[in-house]
Amino acid sequence: MEDSIVKEETAFSLTHKKDESFWEWYSEVVTRGEIIEHYEISGLFTLRPCAISIWDIIKGFFDAEIKKMKIKNCYFPLFVAPLNQQKQKDHMEQFESVLAWVTKTGESEVEIPFAIRPSSEAIMYPYFSKWIRSHRDLPLKLNQWCNVVRWQFSHPTPFIRSHEYLWQEGHTAFATKEEADEEVLDISELYRRIYEEYLAVPVTKGQKSELEKFAGGQYTTTVEAFIPNTGHCIQGAASHCLGNNFAKAFEIYFENTKGEKDMVWQNSWAFSTRAIGVMIMVHGDDKGLVFPPKVAPIQVIVIPVSSREDANSQVIFEACAATVKKLVEAGIRVEADLRDHYSSCWKYSHWELKGVPLRIEIQSKDLANDQVKAVRRDNGAKTDIPLASIADQVKVVLDDIQQNLFDIAKQKRDACVEVVDTLDEFVNALNRKKVVLAPWCDEEAVEKDVKAQTKMKVSSIKTICSPLEQPELIKGKTCFASDKPAKKWTYWARSCDMID
C-alpha cells in the first residue's frame, strides 16, 4: 500500500496549463500546491500553513510600518449592532446583498437580527463619535487585523472572492483635510511596497473614477495589478479618503482650536489575503506555485542525491545537515528533504509544485569539488556554489530571483498596456485582452456612455484608475471618447466576474 501512495503522488504535472485554461489552472495549483483547502460550505476556504506563513510576512512588514505612523491596533466586535439612524443604515445598504445574518443564539431567536461585519465602519464610527470631543483627541488612528464576511454568491475563487477572508482595516480621523490626504497617499505607498517589494507584483498606484470609487467616500486610491493571462486588472488594495461623509452620518464632531464645533476628516484603507492570490496568478507556472524569496515559507530546499546503496550516502546526509545549519544561521528559511522513500526526481517535482525558490542538490561528485548544485525555480538556471561561501551566494541568488520575478512580471504587464487615442483603437485593444491607457475627460456620464457603447463590442469594461504619476502631460489632449479636453490619462480594462 505504501508504494502505491508514493506512486500515486508522483503524478505531478498539473492537469491544466496556465496559458490554456487559466481559471482551472489556478484552482488546481492552489489546492495541489497545498496552500488552500476547499471547505464543506462552498465559497469558504481553509488557508493552509503555507498561505498563513506568507500572510504573516506581509502583515509583519505592514504592521511595523503603520506603527511608525503612530497607528494603533485594536479589535472591535464581529457583529454590526442594529443601527438607529437612516443615514447610518444607508451606508450598510451597499453590503446588503452579501451580509450573513445571525438570527438565533443558543435556543433563542434574537430580538433584532445582526449581521457579521463585511467591514467595520458601522461598528467603529459610533465610538469615534463618543471618543472624539476636542481637537486634542485628534488624530485618532486605528487599525485592526480580522476576518470579514461577504456572502457573494457567484464565482467563489480562493483568496480572490471568498465568503470569509482575512484583512486589515485602518480607520483614521483628522482635524484637517491635509492630514487625511497625506495619510491616504502614505498608505497607498505601503500597499505598493507590499506588492512590488514583497510579492514581486508590479502595480499601478492610481485614483478610482467617481463611478468606481468606494461609495460614501470622497475619493479612492488603489494599487492595481494586472493578470496578463486573462487581460484583467485586479484591485490589490484601496486607501480611501472619506471626507466628512461618515462624520455627518455618525456625528463625529470635535471642538477645534478656535472653540468651534467642527467635523472630522476620515480615511479608511484595507488590504486582504487576496494579495496572495494575485501573487500566485502572476508568478505561478505549469509546474506549480512560484514564490518570491522574500515571502516564500521555505526559501531553499536541500535534497540529497544518492541511492540508498550509495557508499557515500552518510557523507551526503551530513553535508545536507551542515548546509542547512549554515543557511539557518544566515537567516535563510531552509529545509532538507531527507525522506528515503522518495526519489530525488520526485522531490524535485514536489518542491517545484510547492513554489520553493531555490533547490540545492547535494551529491558525491560535487562534494568532491567542495561545491553543491543550485537550481532556480524561476528560470531553471543551474549554478555550482562553493560550500565555503554558500550562505552569501545563496543570498545573492535569492535576491536575484526576487528581482527577476518582478522584472518578468513587469515586462509582461507593460507589454499588455496599449495607449489609445480613439474609441475604435480602444475597442480594438480591449478585444485583444489589452489594458488601455487613454486621455479622458474624467466625466461620469462619458464613462457610463463608453460602457454602454462598448458592451456589445467587447465584454463589459470599466475604468481601472488614473495613475497618480501621469505618464505624460495631458494638457492639449482630447478625450478618446468625448470631444472634450482630456483631464487625466486613465487605464481601462475589461471587467471580470471572477475578480470584481
Q: Residue numbers of the site for a copy of itself (CB under 8 A)?
A: 1-2, 5, 37, 39-41, 44-49, 51-53, 56, 72-79, 81-82, 96-107, 113-114, 116, 126-127, 130, 133-134, 136, 142, 144, 146-147, 149, 151, 153, 164, 166, 255, 259, 339, 341
Nearer to a copy of itself, 336 or 438 (CB): 336
Q: Which three cell numbers stand for residue 431?
A: 478585444
What's the min distance (Å) between Cβ of 67 and a copy of itself? 10
Name the residue nearer to a copy of itself (CB basis): 130 or 382: 130
In contact, 163 and 149? CB cutoff 8 Å? yes
Closest separation in Å from C-beta 151 to a copy of itself? 4
Nearest approach, Cβ of residue 232 and a copy of itself (Å): 25
Q: What is the DSSP string of 213-263?
A: SPTTSSEEEEEEEEETTTTEEEEEEEEEEEETHHHHHHT-EEE-TTS-EEE
Q: For the packed helices 344-353 and 2-10, what is the interaxial angle rounded to 10 degrees?
A: 50
Q: CA–CA separation, 103 vs 101, rounded Å?
A: 6
Measured from the CB atom, is 92 or 367 closer to a copy of itself?
Answer: 92
Sign of CA dihedral 245, 211, 411, 195: positive
Q: What amino acid occupies position 16?
A: H
427 vs 418: CA distance, rounded Å = 11
Write down the least CB distance from residue 50 to a copy of itself, Å: 9
The angle that helices 121-131 and 86-93 make with each other, rounded to 10 degrees, is: 150
Residue 78: what are its φ and ψ, rounded to 5°? -70, -20
Phi, psi of 409 (to 5 degrees): -65, -35
Show the cell assigned to 462.
Answer: 470599466
Pairing type for strands 417-419 and 435-440 reads parallel
Nearer to a copy of itself, 45 or 348 (CB): 45
Identify which of residues 107 and 469 has a Cβ nearer to a copy of itself in the complex: 107
Least distance from C-beta 39 to a copy of itself, angstroms?
A: 5
Q: Which CB, 48 or 412, lies closer to a copy of itself?
A: 48
**Smallest gap from residue 472 Cβ to a copy of itself (A):** 44
Minimum distance from residue 183 beta carbon to a copy of itself (Å): 17
Q: Which residues contact 263 (CB under 8 A, 6 or more apart)?
A: 244, 247, 248, 252, 253, 254
What is the smallest separation between the CB atom of 82 and a copy of itself, expressed in angstroms? 8
- Between 145 and 219, CB nearer to a copy of itself: 145
Q: Is the C-alpha dihedral spanning 427, 230, 240, 152 positive or negative?
A: positive
Cβ atoms of 343 and 278 within 8 Å: the answer is no
Contact 293, 405 (CB under 8 A): no
- Shortest Å distance, C-beta 73 to a copy of itself: 5
DSSP at 135: G
Quickly count: other Cβ atoms within 10 Å of residue 267's Cβ.
Answer: 27
Closest CA to 241 of 187, 167, 168: 187
308, 321 Cβ separation under 8 angstroms: no
Cell of 319: 553535508
Measured from the CB atom, the residue of 147 and 383 that comes closer to a copy of itself is: 147
- Minimum distance between the CB of residue 27 and a copy of itself, rounded to whole angstroms? 17
Q: How far lies 228's CA from each of 14, 60, 218, 455, in Å?
A: 20, 29, 31, 21
Query: Whose Cβ is closer to a copy of itself: residue 54's or residue 401's?
Result: 54
| One-letter identity of residue 89 | K
CB closer to a copy of itself out of 44 and 408: 44
Nearer to a copy of itself, 40 or 483 (CB): 40
To the nearest whole angstrom, how small is the minimum distance from the Cβ of residue 146 to a copy of itself? 7
d(CA 274, CA 475): 37
